[in-house]
């Protein structure tokens, strides 16, 4: 890694800071404008005393002017304090870390699965361009691209329930990220976690697979039509060797960028999948926080997602520079 | 999305041809060669016709409550009925109408704003570009859920408002694509020639840059229509989209979520319509991409 790449990285990080600040500020205003976070408390029967409400308002910084609230929150974040939550006893920093772990597990496995599928399908499609296989794969890719994630997830869930009924045993789990009680040792724990992961992962993976396999196909076709591949063939190398050793290596480079970029958007985009399979991940956290007008919780979510986007953007750029010697950042 | 950026950066202005208007003809001819796109176009037109004309002709209105409650599909009710006695076929037609209207409005608004934003940003470059693109970046970071949750509060969730909310975020994607194309177009000789002849900035942007960037714009806006249908579905599922008594495909599917094992027809029919609409639009977009960008068309070797 050359110093130029490092300077580039550093500059990119600097540029992203004002965007994050502006973004959190806008979202803070949006959530603040969306309603009174104390509505639930005030609506209680019997109504709580004014003192209770005042204490709660003070705890949530509501006794400060709007701009100052944001300032208090931001300086707090710099000290590692993510601010008070509307839900009493909820430590936002602690909670979001746990949620992030759950979502990351889901997204990471789904990305690996989608990537493997996309590369195999994309390469086969490109090598056998305009064949039956190519048309079949193309149609499949477009189909997954066109499915509402929510509809597809419910479809899979139904499939899972039918499968369980057919076998007469719990083969795949359709709700939650793990069972409440698991008998047995580490293996049983692992098997239980895996059983819960199957359906959400497949549903998330297949949706990314659609776009990625198209991309891999296009990138592979580019390479297959290039001069150096023609030359390799002319040297007398077998087609298989040329495809695997020469073409595929180059054709994988753009894929790394796309994967890294989409990885970040999947972290925020798994909302629907998490909701359908009732995983307590980041998506569920966001939906609950928005419904409760929990401004600082929403901001914490935004921070996590924004940092993920920036980190993965950087990874994408650096990988690109590392893998493709033609790329130079200035 | 990367496929589009690829198209964008590779887009070349049309080669000079002998006959006038033949650029348009070429595009049309190339589009017609893409069989999946042509079939999709016909199918999509059929769905639109069915939804807009068929909805008015069908014996039930979407709001009618019939005496048949929760009956499975039959000749009388081809898509069955729900637990209140609504004819699902009539509801799906109405939902299709709304979903298509929403998607088209999103594409129109986002396409228009995104094109102007991207064209100005790419043409002026420098500090204008930096500021405009940072604003676009900012919009891209805003979570649709949060924005929709705030903006749809207190409103009746009418279809055009839902479209407005989604479009208020989607334009930023379009602006990025357009900016990329304009950045390369502005260095072309004809722009320089035009400027030498005393053309104003506005003339160059509207007469040269935007028309020449139209290919990638049309392709991206087409794909945006498909994406918009899916986004509307997701929003409705989370309760932030179109509100009853009006309906959309997304709302129908999400209402049927709990009925999927007992009254599956409520869930499968609207869902299938969403898939068909998004699928045909995606194929049309693919055909347009090939038609506008012959350099991307792979030659058989």
Q: pLDDT at residue B16 above 70?
A: no
Residue B70 lies in a domain: no
Query: CATH no. for residue A314?
Result: 1.10.3720.10
The minimum CA-CA distance between A193 and chain B, rounded to whole Å, is 25
Residue A285 lies in a domain: yes
- Domain total of chain A: 1
What's the angle, vertex CA B262, arms to CA B258 and CA B268, rounded to 5?
A: 75
Cα(A210)–Cα(A121) distance, integer angstroms: 10
Predicted pLDDT of residue A329: 56
Residue B300 lies in a domain: no
The minimum CA-CA distance between A16 and chain B, rounded to whole Å, is 9
Q: pLDDT at residue B19 above 60?
A: no
Cα(B202)–Cα(B197) distance, integer angstroms: 14
Domain region containing A110: 3-48+99-323
Predicted pLDDT of residue B4: 46
The pLDDT tens digits for A287-298 are 888 888 888 888
- Measured in degrees and rounded to the nearest 5, phi and psi for residue B81 equal -135, 165
Residue A39 lies in a domain: yes
Residue B136 lies in a domain: yes
Residue A115 lies in a domain: yes
Please judge whether A150 and B254 are an interchain contact, meaning their C-beta atoms are less than 8 angstroms apart: yes
Residue B17 lies in a domain: no
Task: Using DSSP, state whether B31 is helix, strand or coil.
Answer: helix
Query: What is the CA B52 to chain-centroid distance, rounded?
Result: 18
- Domain total of chain B: 1
Q: How confident is the model at residue A30 (pLDDT cuts 50, 70, 90)?
A: confident
When mean pLDDT is compared across A16-30, A115-129, A178-192, B123-137, the lowest value belongs to: A178-192
Residue B132 lies in a domain: yes
- Measured in degrees and rounded to the nearest 5, phi and psi for residue B23 equal -60, -45
Q: pLDDT at residue B130 above 90?
A: no
Residue A202 lies in a domain: yes
Residue B232 lies in a domain: yes
Residue B288 lies in a domain: yes
Cα(B294)–Cα(B272) distance, integer angstroms: 33
Task: Using DSSP, state whether B87 is helix, strand or coil.
Answer: strand
Q: pLDDT at residue A238 above 50?
A: yes
Predicted pLDDT of residue A84: 85
Residue A30 lies in a domain: yes
Task: For chain A, say whether B125 makes contact (Cβ under 8 Å).
Answer: no
The minimum CA-CA distance between B252 and chain A, rounded to whole Å, is 11
Q: What percent of chain B has pLDDT over 70?
A: 88
- Which residues from chain B sit within 8 angstroms of residue A18, using beta carbons? 134
Domain region containing B103: 25-57+87-292
Predicted pLDDT of residue B300: 37
Q: Tell me, what DSSP letter sits at residue B205?
A: I
Instruction: Pick B301's closest partner by Cβ from A19, A30, A225.
Output: A225
Query: CATH no. for residue B256?
Result: 1.10.3720.10
């Amino acid at each position: 890694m050359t110093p130029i790449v490092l300077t580039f990285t550093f500059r990119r990080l600097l540029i992203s800071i004002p965007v994050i600040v502006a973004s959190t500020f806008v979202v803070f205003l949006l959530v603040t404008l969306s309603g009174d976070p104390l509505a639930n408390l005030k609506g209680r029967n019997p109504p709580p005393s004014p003192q209770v409400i005042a204490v709660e308002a003070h705890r949530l910084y509501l006794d400060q002017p709007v701009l100052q609230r944001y300032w208090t929150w931001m300086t707090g974040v710099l000290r590692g304090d993510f601010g008070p939550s509307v839900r009493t006893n909820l430590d936002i920093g602690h909670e979001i870390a746990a949620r992030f772990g759950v979502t990351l597990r889901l997204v990471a496995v789904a990305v690996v699965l989608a990537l493997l599928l996309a590369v195999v399908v994309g390469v086969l499609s490109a090598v056998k361009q305009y064949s039956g296989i190519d048309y079949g794969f193309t149609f499949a890719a477009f189909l997954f691209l066109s499915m509402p994630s929510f509809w597809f997830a419910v479809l899979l869930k139904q499939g899972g329930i039918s499968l369980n009924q057919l076998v007469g045993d719990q083969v795949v789990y359709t709700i939650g990220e793990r069972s409440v009680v698991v008998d047995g040792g580490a293996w049983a724990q692992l098997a239980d976690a895996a059983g819960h992961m199957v359906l959400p992962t497949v549903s998330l993976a297949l949706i990314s697979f659609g776009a990625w396999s198209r991309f891999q196909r296009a990138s592979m076709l580019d390479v297959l039509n290039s001069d150096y591949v023609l030359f390799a063939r002319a040297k007398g190398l077998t087609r298989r060797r040329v495809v695997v050793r020469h073409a595929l290596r180059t054709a994988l480079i753009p894929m790394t960028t796309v994967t890294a970029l989409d990885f970040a958007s999947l972290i925020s985009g798994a909302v629907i999948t998490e909701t359908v399979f009732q995983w307590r991940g980041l998506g569920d956290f966001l939906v609950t926080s928005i419904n409760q007008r929990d401004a600082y919780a929403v901001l914490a979510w935004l921070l996590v997602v924004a940092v993920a986007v920036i980190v993965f953007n950087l990874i994408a750029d650096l990988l690109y520079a590392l893998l493709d010697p033609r790329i130079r950042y200035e | 999305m990367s496929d589009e950026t690829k198209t964008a950066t590779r887009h070349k202005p049309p080669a000079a041809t002998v006959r006038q208007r033949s650029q348009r003809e070429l595009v049309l001819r190339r589009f017609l060669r893409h069989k999946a796109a042509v079939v999709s176009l016909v199918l999509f037109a059929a769905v639109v016709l069915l939804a807009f004309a068929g909805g008015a002709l069908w014996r039930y209105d979407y709001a009618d409550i019939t005496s048949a409650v929760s009956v499975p599909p039959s000749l009388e009710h081809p898509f069955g009925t729900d637990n209140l006695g609504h004819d699902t076929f009539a509801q799906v037609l109405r939902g299709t109408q709304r979903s298509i209207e929403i998607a088209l409005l999103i594409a129109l608004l986002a396409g228009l704003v995104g094109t102007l934003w991207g064209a100005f940003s790419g043409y002026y470059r420098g500090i204008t570009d930096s500021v405009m693109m940072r604003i676009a970046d900012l919009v891209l970071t805003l979570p649709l859920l949060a924005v929709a949750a705030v903006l749809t509060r207190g409103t009746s969730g009418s279809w055009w408002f839902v479209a407005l909310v989604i479009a208020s975020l989607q334009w930023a994607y379009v602006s990025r694509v357009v900016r990329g194309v304009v950045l390369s177009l502005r260095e072309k000789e004809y722009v320089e020639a035009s400027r030498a002849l005393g053309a104003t900035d506005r003339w160059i942007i509207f007469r040269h840059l935007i028309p020449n960037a139209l290919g990638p714009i049309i392709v991206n806006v087409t794909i945006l229509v498909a994406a918009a249908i899916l986004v509307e579905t997701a929003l409705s599922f989370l309760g932030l989209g179109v509100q009853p008594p009006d309906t959309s495909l997304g709302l129908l599917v999400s209402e049927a979520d709990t009925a999927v094992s007992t009254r599956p027809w409520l869930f499968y029919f609207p869902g299938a319509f969403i898939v068909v609409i998004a699928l045909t639009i995606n194929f049309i977009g693919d055909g347009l991409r090939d038609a506008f960008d012959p350099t991307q068309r792979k030659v058989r070797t």
